[in-house]
């Protein structure tokens, strides 16, 4: 009897969405991406279960998980990474962290630069086969140096694959490697607004 195809579930909440995809071999069985600025923590597991059920599978059928580790929204990254770690531990399967840059680049050959909107006229950016942008960085759009190839994402051309599908494909290729637990890729600390009101005065 031939071996079963690996079944990979990918999830991502690093941007203003809740996204998941289910991959068997090279076939995308199910995928969904729901726009949302808040509520990913409450929606993510339910979305994953819906995709599995629609494909006739259960969590116990999974071979590995893929998860987007950012950069992107600080809280969103924590939600998906924590969910993937927890599910992987409970199921006894590996979880593979995939950067947004790798997901954006998938399907593109040669030099390019991948960018994620960081708001405030800034982008999270990484170049591939571009020496001046070889490391992930946070930059103002106006400070981007000249580079070779297309800009993918953040107002450049669209990526070849939806984000969760790209994460699933990359996780399928990497899950047999010893990669360790997924680690968030933040590049910028969490936003922290100072308190607007003075602390209450305690009267003896």
CA angle 128, 165, 119 (to 5 degrees): 60
> Looking up tokens 């994620």, which residue turns up?
116
Could you give all domains of the chain from N- to C-terminal order, each with its CATH number? 1-108+159-189 (3.30.420.40), 109-157 (no CATH)
DSSP 120-134: TTEEEEEEES-GGG-
Within 13 Å, how many C-alpha atoms sit on residue 169's CB side? 17
What would the pLDDT profile of 174-191 be if each residue is shown by its tens digit?
988 867 899 999 988 765
Mean pLDDT, range 114-122, rounded to an integer: 94
> What tokens appear for 196 in the block?
């607007």
What would the pLDDT profile of 96-116 be if each residue is shown by its tens digit?
999 999 999 999 999 999 999
The model's pTM: 0.90
CA distance 141 to 67: 27
CA distance 167 to 68: 7
């Amino acid at each position: 009897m031939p071996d079963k195809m690996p079944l990979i579930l990918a999830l991502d909440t690093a941007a203003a969405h809740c996204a998941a995809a289910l991959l068997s071999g090279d076939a995308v069985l199910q995928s969904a991406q729901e726009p949302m600025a808040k509520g990913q923590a409450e929606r993510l597991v339910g979305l994953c279960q819906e995709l599995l059920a629609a494909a006739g599978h259960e969590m116990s059928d999974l071979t590995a998980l893929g998860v987007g580790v950012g950069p992107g929204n600080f809280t969103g990254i924590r939600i998906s990474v924590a969910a993937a770690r927890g599910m992987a531990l409970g199921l006894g399967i590996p979880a593979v962290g995939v950067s947004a840059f790798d997901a954006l680049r998938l399907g593109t050959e040669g030099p390019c630069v991948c960018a994620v909107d960081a708001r405030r006229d800034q982008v999270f950016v990484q170049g591939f086969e571009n020496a001046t942008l070889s490391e992930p960085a946070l930059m103002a759009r106006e400070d981007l140096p000249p580079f070779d190839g297309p800009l993918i994402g953040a107002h450049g051309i669209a990526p070849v694959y939806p984000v969760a599908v790209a994460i699933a494909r990359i996780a399928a290729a990497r899950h047999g490697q010893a990669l360790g637990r997924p680690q968030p890729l933040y590049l910028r600390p969490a936003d922290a607004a100072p308190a607007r009101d003075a602390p209450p005065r305690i009267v003896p």
